Structure 1
Amino acid sequence: MKFLGALIFLFLYVPAHAALTSDWDVSMGMTSLKYQFPSAGVDKSIESSTTMEVNYSINNPALNTALTLSFMEMAGGGGKQLPFTRIALGGRYYMFGVNGMRVVVDSSSEAKIWRPTPFIAANLGLSNLAVDDFNASLIDLTIRGGVEIPVMSDLLLIGQVSMGSSLTAPSSEDENVKYSFMTLFAGLRFVGFD
């Protein structure tokens, strides 16, 4: 718990020359999810071309990072309306700096940097899998990579590939349920830098 507190403190600590900003993005994608429930003899895959994800991010340009709250739902897969939903908290690391970051050009002027920016991310989530007459809530981990491409000063195109896997089940009756998934996302990021 102390380690988590220290990480949050370090993330929110802002040097005098930087400021936190926030923004959000929305993406649509295609998901392939494989799940197993050995005690019921279930080992299946479902595909969905209507996966939606919304992210709210708090950006720290001084550290080239973002703290992200993510909501994801997969619709119309496996004959179910919502077979998979997920809420997660995680972080992004921008390898070449956060888009829209202010930089000092010389001692008297500032500029904003806009360029295609790749990032890597990880998040820990709580998901609900509702297929084949069973409903399981599981904790999972997702790793992703992506790129942001500026369109205007307050709008970016975002593309991502995400891979995730279940870790544990909160309740004992769901312990045997396992899943893994891969999603390709494309969407828009709406920013409001000063």
Structure 2
Amino acid sequence: MRVLVLIVLLMIGVQAQAYLTSDWDVSMGMTSLKYKYSNLVDDSLESSSTIEVNYSVNNPSLNTAMTLSFMEAAGGGGQQLPFTRIAVGARYYMFGVNGVRVVMDSTSEAKVWRPTPFIAINAGLSNLAVEGFNASLLDLSVRGGVEVPLYSDLLIIGQVALGSSLTSAASEDEAVTYNSMTLFAGIRFVGFE
């Protein structure tokens, strides 16, 4: 959590040098989630219908984006929505944010579009509702992915996310933990002026 606060402070501190933009992306995927409930249950949840929506505020001067995301997995056993999650985090683009205006010389500008990989981390609140229990947990997700331009305002995005619970939902006798892996493919809508 301290790392997230530090990233936010760094992004706010360089506002005079940054041209901030925002966009959002929608991804569909498959989730494999292994959960443990106390000493009684050690089971897994496989969902082939996982959706995630991200809203991003981009800071091209640092090659980063702050994200707010919502994810839910459906139809994987247990309740109708066995896993939901809301999170905040950051992405780092290794080769720079796509669609950024670059000053070529004193009189001309260009937009840069290229496939670019990224790494991301986010912390969130998740809800695990499977047969026998319903638990809310704080969690952490680390992911890597790539964006590939399709049009000037549309990118294809692919990513893999690894997640794990940070807290258990109840006392030690009724502790709930989970680990997950999700593969995503989707589209990112950008609105660069």
TM-score (norm 1): 0.92
Residue of structure 2 equivalent to 1:49: 48
Contact residue 169 and residue 175 of structure 2 kept, 8 A: no
Contact residue 48 and residue 74 of structure 1 kept, 8 A: yes
1:2 to 1:131, Cα distance in 2 relative to 1, 3 A = closer
Return the alpha-carbon distance in structure 2 between the equivalents of residues 162 and 3 of structure 1. 19
Residue of structure 1 equivalent to 2:32: 32
Return the alpha-carbon distance in structure 2 between the equivalents of residues 155 and 193 of structure 1. 11
Contact residue 78 and residue 129 of structure 2 kept, 8 A: no
Query: What secondary structure does 2:104 align onto?
Result: strand
Superimposed CA distance per residue, residues 139-164 of structure 1 (whole angstroms, 9 cap, x where no aligned partner): 11100000000011110000000000
Contact residue 25 and residue 189 of structure 2 kept, 8 A: yes
Contact residue 28 and residue 186 of structure 2 kept, 8 A: yes
Indicate the percent of aligned positions where both proteins have the same amino acid: 72
Contact residue 36 and residue 43 of structure 2 kept, 8 A: yes
Superimposed CA distance per residue, residues 6-51 of structure 1 (whole angstroms, 9 cap, x where no aligned partner): 5423212345453100000000000000000124x10001111100
Unaligned runs of 5+ in 2: none
For residues 56-95 of structure 1, the aligned pairs below 5 Å read 56-95=55-94
Query: What secondary structure does 1:9 align onto?
Result: helix
More divergent stretch after superposition (55-64 vs 3-12): 3-12
TM-score (norm 2): 0.93
Unaligned runs of 5+ in 1: none
Contact residue 22 and residue 192 of structure 1 kept, 8 A: yes
When the two structures are aligned, how many residues end up with a matched partner? 193
Return the alpha-carbon distance in structure 1 between the equivalents of residues 69 and 172 of structure 2. 27
C-alpha RMSD over aligned residues: 1.9
Superimposed CA distance per residue, residues 115-139 of structure 1 (whole angstroms, 9 cap, x where no aligned partner): 0010000000100000122011101
